[in-house]
Structure 1
């Protein structure tokens, strides 16, 4: 049972965009979207969202150097909360605008939601070393792909910018809480 779940998770995360007609439709819609548009540059995190496969994973990986450098500042994490909140609100607005403009719902090239979700998970870290950041990354990707409720509700039922962004924020909170639980056991130091 566990092996089947792990296999399904890996298969889904690598190949979820390659399911026939829907994938072809997304390719055609991508062609109408241009990196010359500022909203596309922002939402795709400077084009990372146009990675040929697993754009969400690439978007999350693209976030890690920034989070690592912020962690080196040794500033209290609570000072980052208002910035993430404002950035989330702006992202919801821009995502809503772009989805209406391009007539899309949560296209794969929008990865600013992964940037924000991973940033939320980062707020929970007890240590800023690469091991803790890697664990946070793995947990966030797991929860972002699985989408436990209420993340699944925002992903499937909320058809505007906030649905695109908030499912990843919720996944980031789940990942952060699980990270705290793992860290409390002493399994990671």
Structure 2
């Protein structure tokens, strides 16, 4: 097998191997344009489920999915013989779940969180860009999106604070 570049066609194993299917965001990473965006969208229906958990339960779920992602993304990248195939979107899913921890319920907050996460994931301000370029394996695949999720979470908490402390009046 030749080594795949990050933008090569989707390997058929995505449809046969459950680990590959999961890493490819239940198939969302196979879409031809902007797979990271599709993976981020696929993460959204999970949020109402995670929000039913106590805050510590959501936090625990984030830790488990992140640690699992280090292994999963590394395994699938090794199987495909590529550093970070663009179709591997488990990392975007976890980044979205981080972004939306402790965010109020409602589709408006999901939309704002989605946009804020995509902003940080695409822009990759320091140190996200450095991590993306210099950390390899499953940890490297995951860590840039985890950091984008943390940056987006901080931004979301600021937006929520402003909104709940008079910002809503600006739009009345």
Under TM normalisation by the shorter chain, which class is it?
Answer: 0.7 to 0.9
Structure 2 unpaired stretches of 5+: none
Tell me the residue number matched to 1:37: 17
Q: Matched residue of 1:49: which SS?
A: helix
Q: Does 1:53 align with 2:30?
A: no
Q: Matched residue of 1:47: which SS?
A: helix
Tell me the residue number matched to 1:131: 108
The answer on whether the counterparts of 2:50 and 2:58 sit within 8 Å (CA) in structure 1 is no
Tell me the residue number matched to 1:101: 79
The alignment's TM-score, normalised by the length of structure 1, stands at 0.79
Tell me the residue number matched to 2:131: 154
The alignment's TM-score, normalised by the length of structure 2, stands at 0.86
Structure 1 unpaired stretches of 5+: 1-22
Quickly say closer, same or farther: Cα 1:188–1:59, change in 2 above 3 A: farther
Quickly say closer, same or farther: Cα 1:51–1:188, change in 2 above 3 A: farther
The answer on whether the counterparts of 1:56 and 1:111 sit within 8 Å (CA) in structure 2 is yes
Quickly say closer, same or farther: Cα 1:100–1:133, change in 2 above 3 A: same
Tell me the residue number matched to 1:169: 146
Quickly say closer, same or farther: Cα 1:80–1:110, change in 2 above 3 A: same
Aligned pair count?
A: 163
Question: C-alpha distance in 2, partners of 1:119/1:146?
Answer: 19
Structure 1 vs Structure 2 CA RMSD: 2.1
Q: Matched residue of 1:142: which SS?
A: helix
Question: C-alpha distance in 2, partners of 1:68/1:188?
Answer: 23
